[in-house]
Amino acid sequence: MGEKDMERRRIVRRGIVATLVGGTFWGLNGTVSKWLMDAYAIDPLWLVCVRELTACWLFLAAAAVTSKGRGQLAGVLRSPRGLAQVVAVSFGAVLFSQVAYLEAIDWTNSATATIMQSLGMVLVLAYVCLKVRRRPRRREILGVGLALVGTYLVATGGNPGQLNLPPEGLAWGLGCAAAAACLSILPAAPMARWGNFTVNGLAFLISGAVLSAWYRPWEHMPALDGVAITVLALCVVVGTFAAYALYLQGVKDAGSMRASLLGTIEPVTATIATVVWLGTPFSPAEIVGFVLIIVMVYLTA
């Protein structure tokens, strides 16, 4: 094996780890966000505005730490094509994914939203195959099948009654699937040129500013105590900044399709977090779902 092949494998392995950790943080964040919305009557759009307009400065600060990051930040601001790509990421990936997922949870429940979101991997597979003009590989088909079945079992415990699909929930759920696909596809090219932190920082800033101008979060302030503020800060630092930075690094290093499959670690983490939080036991169906997703991760890696 040549040095280039070894280096490529090292990068892919790094991407796999980044995706799994980022998906884990997302799973924790979904559970915590749902708790915040229920316990403090927080509107999903208010939560998106706060997360985006605070996390963006963490991304930009991380970009400005190194000379390379400062150069990338200055470069993209002078590049009309680069800015257009960042705007596409801002609306098509960052804003769309956050709003669609939180609205889907609010209209349905976390199980339904998670299952609908997982359909995005089918869209990613179709996009990748059309782009390179090839048929899906057996491992990819098997991986998608295991991921979908595993996600269903983990999210519902094998009970279809857990699903809740009013018309608004169905619409936002399908939006989740499209947003998940966009998140695995759109950032890859600009991040390869301008860097993870630069693209994320500007994308979060743009989408947060536009959404805030329309929604006016200061007019929908919830009553928060010290516990809520602390949990909200964790949502921003861990569930938004770290989760997006790691997941999108995984997209860059491991590829859109592999990252989309590995991202199904999110419902596993969300379920475990809910069980630990509420003290309820795992069902046999959930354990089977865990096993299927772990097998998928092994096949994908």
State how far the Cα of 62 lies from the Cα of 233, in Å rounded to an integer.
17
**Confidence tier at 116 by pLDDT (50, 70, 90):** confident
CB of 16 within 8 A of CB of 258? yes
Residue 225 domain-assigned (yes or no) = yes
Count of the separate structural domains present in the chain: 1
pLDDT digits (tens, 9 = 90+) for 130-185: 888 888 888 878 888 887 887 788 777 777 777 667 888 888 888 888 988 888 88
Measured from the Cβ of residue 49, the count of other Cβ atoms closer than 10 Å reads 25
Query: Which amino acid appears at position 22 of this protein?
Result: G
Residue 7 domain-assigned (yes or no) = no
pLDDT digits (tens, 9 = 90+) for 204-258: 999 999 999 999 999 999 999 999 999 999 999 998 999 988 988 888 888 877 7
Residue 40 domain-assigned (yes or no) = yes
- Looking at residue 203, its pLDDT comes to 93
pLDDT digits (tens, 9 = 90+) for 180-218: 888 888 888 898 889 889 999 999 999 999 999 999 999
Query: Which amino acid appears at position 83 of this protein?
Result: L
State how far the Cα of 268 lies from the Cα of 274, in Å rounded to an integer.
10
Q: Which of 109-113, 117-121, 189-193 has the lowest mean pLDDT?
A: 109-113
- Looking at residue 301, its pLDDT comes to 56
Residue 169 domain-assigned (yes or no) = yes
State how far the Cα of 117 lies from the Cα of 169, in Å rounded to an integer.
12
CB of 200 within 8 A of CB of 58? no
In the predicted model, what is the mean pLDDT of residues 60-73? Answer: 90
Higher pLDDT, 266 or 78: 78
DSSP letter assigned to residue 66: S
Domain of 126 in residue numbering reads as: 13-300
State how far the Cα of 59 lies from the Cα of 79, in Å rounded to an integer.
19
Residue 2 domain-assigned (yes or no) = no
Residue 168 domain-assigned (yes or no) = yes
**Three-state SS string across 245-287, please?**
HHHHHHHHHHCHHHHHHHCCHHHHHHHHHHHHHHCCCCCHHHH
Residue 81 domain-assigned (yes or no) = yes
CB of 13 within 8 A of CB of 250? no
Residue 5 domain-assigned (yes or no) = no
